[in-house]
Amino acid sequence: MMGKTLPSLLVENVKKFGNNKVALREKEFGIWQKVTWKEYLQHVKYFSLGLIHLGFERGDKLAIIGDNRPEWVYAELAVQCAGGIPLGIYQDSILTEVAYVINHSDAKFVVAEDQEQTDKILHMKDQLPNLRKIIYTDPKGMRSYDDPLLIYFPEVEELGREMEKKHPDLFEKNVNQVTENDVVLIAYTSGTTGFPKGSLLTHRGVLKMAENLNKVDPKYETDEFVSFLPLPWVGEQYMSVFGALLTGYTISFPEEPETGTADLYEIAPHVMFAPPRIWEGISRSVMVKHLDASFLKRSVYNFCLPIGYRWADFKFERKKPPWLWKILYSIAYLCLFRALRDRLGFPHIRSAMTGGAALGPDVFRFFHALGVNLKQIYGITELSGVATMHPSGEISVDTVGRPIPETDIRISPEGEIQVKTPGVFLGYHKNPEATAKAVHEGWLYTGDAGYFTEDRHLVVIDRVSDLMTMSDGTKFSPMFIENKLKFCPYIVEAVVVGHERPYIGAIICIDFKNVGKWAEDRRIGYTTYTDLASKLEIYELIEKEVFRVNRSLPKAARIHKFVLLYKELDADDEELTRTRKVRRGFVGEKYKKEIEALYGQEENIPIVSMIRYQDGRTAMIRTRLIVRTMKSLEEYEAMMKKRWWKFWE
């Protein structure tokens, strides 16, 4: 064995912890089931040997699809021990996406969680010529299935036990043959510009990244972490696999994705890593609950939150708070923030990180007001994870921190961020042309635009390809404006347009749950999402939020017109990636008529659109889209003042 590898770390942890420490937990039927480190290794060993019994060879690939479960990490580590390469598929992928990844990766084996995921593979087996076995982990609903491709996960482990009797030293021999330069997994990118690309990551790359990040933000073997984000995402791989094996902390898997928030509350983790959409969702839920609270609770919230914001600003400005503000914040913490953190599952949180996309400054300030030490990081799949992070005491709302150890970053003359680190990937699977464009002399060309501040903090503006220029030459970042819009509790997604146009427009998707609750409280009747999004009262509600955003923007970058889309953007309709990033080019083409309406004279236009369900079925939507023109700030404030005096009289 040459250098550290994930299988070798698993063996070391078993020697260190044995049966005395919990490695994994899974909630089943309301009860947390514990798996010790020794049991963890046994599952990995027998599944690995079982795969070999089924014909798995060195260099073969195995795909995994399903929710976060212990069986996922068992399978991933088992494949690596056998000298193969694992890869993950997002559990909500539609059939064509699943088929593409399996065929592109040349996967011969698939681990499918349950009946739903197994059906996806069986329905396409004629399109998967390399497929040899489908291994399912949940037997519910599978009793009548008799396809020869199918085999139950514990049955594979039983085959592994038989294999061990014949070849008692095979597993240890295989583990020792794994080297740090071997491919640890194929991590598929989000696919914002087309089909996802398979990034080849190495054991050395992922562990170097984890070690260097730990130097900036230490993790401990006593820590707890809840794994509720999709494991195909490299960020969740870092927390649930790489970091956990390196450090030895405990991973807990929720009962279902929908119970993740409740399970987070039960575990109260010390570490949390989530993309912006999760933090935005949490902040939205808090704001909505505040609006529904009693008068006393609303008053406490409205009194304490500004104090928290000012406390956060002291931290961002790196100033020592005056004693009066220390007293005020202590009062606010006792009255509100302590209980709120506990309710969110954050009473013990020490390390809170966000990455994968830019987090809006309003959301960032919100969590620091609560006392959650949230840090932004910058990283992409091709870097095996992370390149920068906020050092302790240097939190900034506008930056993503400094480069972590052994990481060099430079900015090209065109403003592109380029990175050199031990974590740079080997290349894209079966795509040498894209690899040649991405890596030059060890430098990864990220495609992101950014710059360094005077104190060497990195600022990420947007994707280079996404930066826009208005017809008068004014440059702006659509992502910056979108993040401000998404801080609103009633907006779940936004797409800002305006490239080579006279002004900026926005396509906005309402949060159906929160806006529906708002409408019900005011006795506004509605039937569907489309019906709700077309109500004039909802337009007025969202207009107030757009006005709030416009007040914080330069005049040239303010939103002039917006529409409320008749449906949420959906990954099944190819409008979002599976990591919830907007596929801007696809959206721009699909909603070309809606975008043109933002720059026309019509106040409403007829719309006929097709939506696609996960099983491939389609349906038509027929509606009329209202185009709302924003008033100037002066006109809006004068109108609101007039309304106030009328109410007062």
Tens digits of per-residue pLDDT, 284-303? Answer: 888 888 877 888 998 999 99
What's the mean pLDDT in 609-616?
64
Which residues have CB under 8 Å from 244's CB, separation 6+?
Answer: 23, 225, 250, 251
Average pLDDT over residues 355-374: 87
Beta bridge partners of 613: none
Burial (0-12, 13-18, 19+ Cβ within 10 Å), 38: middle
Q: What is the DSSP string of 86-117?
A: EEEE-TT--HHHHHHHHHHHTEEEEEE-SHHH
CA distance 373 to 377: 13
pLDDT at site 38: 97
> What is the average pLDDT across 512-538?
92
The Cα 8–Cα 17 span in angstroms is 14
CB atoms within 10 A of CB 649: 5
Higher pLDDT, 305 or 480: 305
Residues 6+ apart with CB under 8 A from 294: none
Report the distance separating Cα 622 and Cα 56, nearest Å: 51
Q: Which residue carries 């990636």 as its tokens?
A: 577
- pLDDT band with cut points at 50, 70 and 90 for residue 647: very low
| pLDDT computed for residue 192 by the predictor | 60
**Average pLDDT, rounded, for the chain:** 90
SS3 435: helix
Q: Which of 365-374, 572-581, 605-614 has the highest mean pLDDT?
A: 365-374
Tokens of 212: 């260097």
**For range 479-499, the mean pLDDT:** 89
CA distance 229 to 238: 11
**CATH architecture of the domain covering 6-179+229-245:** 3-Layer(aba) Sandwich (3.40)
Report the share of the chain in percent with pLDDT over 90: 67
What is the C-alpha separation between 392 and 401, in angstroms, rounded? 10
What gap in Å lies between CA 501 and CA 397, rounded to an integer? 30
Largest CA distance in the chain: 91
Contacts of the segment 515-522: beta carbons below 8 A, 24+ positions apart = 515/490, 515/541, 517/288, 517/292, 518/291, 518/490, 521/292
Q: Rounded to an integer, what distance in angstroms lies between the CA atom of residue 551 and that of residue 228? A: 36
Using only the alpha carbons of the chain, give its radius of gyration. Answer: 26
* Model pLDDT, residue 578: 77
**pLDDT over 80 (residue 44):** yes
The residue with tokens 């890593």 is: 273
Q: How many CB atoms lie within 10 A of CB 445?
A: 16
**Which value, to the nearest 10 degrees, does the dihedral of the CA atoms of residues 272, 380, 458, 497 take?**
-100
- Confidence bin at 648 (pLDDT 50/70/90): very low
CB 121 within 8 A of CB 131: yes
Token pair for 281: 């969702």
H or E stretch covering 17? helix 6-17
Q: What is the pLDDT of residues 58-102, one digit of tens each?
A: 999 999 999 999 999 999 999 999 999 999 999 888 888 899 999
pLDDT at residue number 612: 66
Q: Which of 186-195, 443-452, 578-587 has the lowest mean pLDDT?
A: 186-195
What gap in Å lies between CA 502 and CA 468, rounded to an integer? 12
Q: Would residue 56 be called left, alpha or beta, if left means φ above 0 and alpha means ψ between -120 and 50 degrees?
A: beta
pLDDT for the residue 620: 79
Residue 517 has pLDDT above 50, yes or no: yes
Phi (first) and psi of residue 184, to 5 degrees: -85, -35
Listed in sequence order, the residues at least 6 apart from 577 whose beta carbon sits closer than 8 Å to its beta carbon are 190, 191, 192, 196, 571, 583
Cα 341–chain centre separation: 21
Check pLDDT > 80 for residue 640.
Answer: no
**Helices and strands (H and E) in the chain: how many:** 24, 29
Lowest mean pLDDT among 42-56, 127-141, 424-438, 616-630: 616-630
Helix (H) or strand (E) holding 476: strand 475-476
Q: Is residue 306 very low, low, confident or very high in pLDDT (cuts 50, 70, 90)? A: very high
Amino acid type, 183: V
pLDDT of residue 3: 58
pLDDT digits (tens, 9 = 90+) for 259-280: 877 888 899 999 999 888 889 8
Residue 98 near residue 124 (C-beta atoms within 8 A): yes
More confident residue, 250 or 357: 250
DSSP secondary structure letters along 573-612: GTSB-TT--B-HHHHHHHTHHHHHHHTSS-SEEEEEEEEE
Provide the residue ranges of all domains of the chain, joining segments of one domain with +: 6-179+229-245, 273-465, 467-648
Token pair listed for 465:
């390809």
Provide the pLDDT for residue 154: 97
Please state which architecture CATH assigns to domain 273-465: 3-Layer(aba) Sandwich (3.40)
Are the folds of 273-465 and 467-648 the same?
no
d(CA 98, CA 117): 10
For residues 530-544, give the mean pLDDT.
93
CB 62 within 8 A of CB 75: yes
Q: Are 522 and 537 in contact (CB under 8 A)?
A: yes
Query: What is the per-residue pLDDT across 207-221, written as a single tens digit (0 to 9) for each?
Result: 999 999 999 999 999
Level-2 CATH architecture, domain 467-648: 2-Layer Sandwich (3.30)
Give the rounded percent of residues in the chain with a pLDDT score beyond 70.
96
| Residue 103 buriedness (CB in 10 A; 0-12 / 13-18 / 19+) | middle
pLDDT tens profile 21-40: 999 999 988 899 999 999 99
